[in-house]
Structure 1
Amino acid sequence: MAESYNGYCVKCREKRDFTGEVSESNNRRMAKGKCPVCGTTVTRILGKAQV
């Protein structure tokens, strides 16, 4: 399920809105998607996953 998130693009050096998928590892949720301007992978850590 793709949702819209706001994350920091390291290549553009700006915060961008991106659509991404939520993945989970080490009990942490993370949204991962592409920057709409440059196409670099943008991630945002969302917090602990509910067990």
Structure 2
Amino acid sequence: MYVRAQDLGCLSTEQVHGEPGGEITVRPWGERSCYVDDPWGNSLCFVGAGTVYQG
């Protein structure tokens, strides 16, 4: 998914808790995720299996 989003140029340029949203990063709450922007400007978050924050 990440490589495809990178090829399409839709990785997010926003910062998420001080880290680039478009990079695969382990977030402060433990999720390994990255953000992309869909064609309509919506931000989508993809989270690695087994790292979803359960609250």
Structure-2-length-normalised TM-score: 0.40
The structure with more helix, counted as a fraction of residues: 2
Structure-1-length-normalised TM-score: 0.42
The structure with more strand, counted as a fraction of residues: 1
Question: Relative contact order (C-alpha < 8 Å, sep 6+): which is higher?
Answer: 1
